Chains A and B, each alone.
Chain A
């Protein structure tokens, strides 16, 4: 580890207190940091420093956060983690739809922050493809198995009878484990660009899926709801700190 080139994190944050916290934590974890306190500077830093990961506070003084994301995505796949306040679901969804990889809601502890950074860096190495889908064409997490060859979902080895649309939703989430898929992106992917922007259809499908694959739909193990934003399927990784449902066992200290 010591002779490796440090991975570089760009922190875009205008509040000095939060910046101090982010910088100290990220550096203590062994990353190099560069910082920017407004959008204009941030765009300049991205081109001149080529960071490995970007932490972006959505509430910048001079520019809308999603503008930065859109502009970066024109030429770079650098993972972007958006830092946002609660009660701003529309902004989170917009940021994800503009190409952000993940979001973290204020306030957050250092364990959660670092876990998100590691996840984002790991995903960037696999270029968005789920490398956990094996040569047998299956994605497995816990006792859930999505079989992309036979187009089937199994739980504890048993076939689950999903409708075609239900299968497509699960299959789509399974291609992006650990990542939040917004309602909009799921609807688009499934029903095309002219998809009805009706989240209700999706929610009812999801409720039905949960009844078929989860033992307790109010305490899901596989598909999580990000209220007002979208859905996320469980990820197969040791890296579970700061991410439900494992939180129940390893609460942030």
Chain B
């Protein structure tokens, strides 16, 4: 597990770093038009933003890896979903997100930063892999003391035979493509360890909207009715 993860990380770091060094050296050393410089700067920024996301995932892993040491607080689910959507929408190329609302106030004991990270990873994942996706849906349901949060899209979907590998994080190492950044990277395996540390599970499947669905469950508390 550990060496797999480290390999995935090294992988996720090397490509954007190469691009950043290349682009910045070109700006310094070559005679470039203003437009070219701006274009290269845009590339640097995009790559750096990617690196930030990788680092944030790494930080999340360190927060989870002290078993049972997650500091959970009762959070209102929609606040965390709302905040994750807002952060995702800061990223260039983000898609519109349509979330179910529940009339009940659902309290979920969680480390809010980590669950927010899960949501952002799943949104990011749509951008990276769901070819043709135009929108993201969040569907919510409550069942037997668990809340199920499903992030779905209308993109190309997942080949069923790949599902198990995608969820256990081995997909990327076996199927490296030319564009390395298009890999699942560590995002999904981080999601999984965060969710499992909260006593939930991550599932993948087909969406009612035609694309992929990633659903996770979390133990939640009784309904809080308000007057």
Contact = CB atoms under 8 A, between A and B. Distances in A.
B99 A218 contact: yes
A219 B105 contact: no
A107 B54 CA distance: 13
Contact of B90 (A206, A218, A227, A247): A247
**Which of under 10, 10 to 19, 20 to 34, or 35 or more describes the interface residues of B?**
35 or more
Contacts of A225: 79-80, 82-83
Contact of B85 (A210, A218, A251): A218
A203 B75 contact: yes
Interface string B71-90: 00111101111110110011
A87 B113 contact: yes
Given A204-B226, A218-B85, A225-B82, A252 B75 contact: no
Given A204-B105, A225-B79, A245-B86, A219 B63 contact: no
Given A200-B107, A252-B90, A218 B226 contact: no
Contact of B76 (A87, A206, A226, A228): A206
A163 to B, nearest CB: 7
B90 A210 contact: no
Nearest to B106: A207
A210 B83 CA distance: 14
Among A86, A218, A224, A228, residue most surrounded by chain B Cβ atoms (within 10 Å): A218
Given A208-B226, A216-B101, A227 B80 contact: yes
B215 interface: no
Contact of B79 (A86, A87, A206, A211): A206
A204 B113 contact: no
Given A86-B59, A107-B52, A208 B79 contact: no
Contact of A227 (B89, B101, B105, B116): B116
Contact of A228 (B74, B81, B112): B112
Contacts of A156: none
A245 B48 CA distance: 24
A117 B63 CA distance: 32
Contacts of A227: 79-80, 83, 112-113, 116
Interface in B39-95: 45, 48-49, 52, 56, 59, 63, 73-76, 78-83, 85-86, 89-92, 94
Given A87-B63, A216-B99, A218-B81, A204 B76 contact: yes
Interface string B99-120: 1010101010000110010000
Contacts of B162: none
B99 A219 contact: yes
Among B74, B224, B226, residue most surrounded by chain A Cβ atoms (within 10 Å): B226
A245 B56 CA distance: 23
Nearest to B51: A107
A56 B103 CA distance: 42
Contact of A210 (B49, B73, B78, B94): B78
B138 interface: yes
A203 B112 contact: no
Contacts of B91: 251
A87 B52 CA distance: 13
B170 to A, nearest CB: 28
Given A200-B107, A204-B226, A247-B86, A107 B78 contact: no
A205 B92 CA distance: 34
12 contacts: A86-B56, A89-B113, A163-B227, A204-B76, A210-B78, A211-B226, A217-B82, A217-B101, A225-B80, A228-B112, A251-B94, A252-B92
Given A87-B59, A163-B227, A251-B90, 12 more contacts: A86-B59, A107-B52, A206-B79, A207-B224, A217-B78, A218-B85, A224-B83, A224-B86, A227-B113, A244-B89, A244-B90, A251-B92
Interface of B: 45, 48-49, 52, 56, 59, 63, 73-76, 78-83, 85-86, 89-92, 94, 97, 99, 101, 103, 105, 107, 112-113, 116, 138, 224, 226-227
